[in-house]
Amino acid sequence: MKGDAPPGPPCCPAPSVAQDLRPVEGREADEELAALAKAIAHPARVQILRLLVRKTACICGDIVDELPLAQSTVSQHLKILKEAGLIRGEVDGPRVCYCIEPAALRRLKALVGGL
């Protein structure tokens, strides 16, 4: 259908292509930026985001192989990123497949750019 988002990786739904018209200044934008900044305020979470940006999809085990951290630590970082909306994850049998949430990353860039 015309205007639909392109299909995403098999493990993640297609990202939204709708334009975000929310303001980048004001109390709500400040709170949103603070929450997103808190979510990326750990070097391991920044590494995870960079890894997911380079790949179209990722399985948690692959992430653990890329970082010098225990599975439980990586899982906690993934949970924080997912709760902030920066990544998506879908259960695929016994594993969870994670990918970046492009709209949230674009929003973070816009909010930082509005400083």
Q: pLDDT tens per residue, the chain (115 residues)?
A: 334 444 444 556 565 667 776 777 889 999 999 999 999 999 999 999 999 988 866 777 788 888 999 999 999 999 999 999 999 988 777 778 898 998 899 999 999 998 8
Contact present, 40 and 87 (Cβ < 8 Å): no
Contacts of residue 36, defined as CB under 8 A and 6 or more positions apart, other chains included, come to 84, 86, 104, 107, 108, 111
- CA Rg, the chain, in Å? 15
Q: How far apart are CA 86 and CA 42, in angstroms?
A: 14
26: left (phi over 0), alpha (psi -120 to 50) or beta: left
The sign of the CA dihedral 66, 58, 88, 107 is positive
Amino acid residing at 14? A
Assigned token pair, 111: 């909010």
Prediction pTM value? 0.80
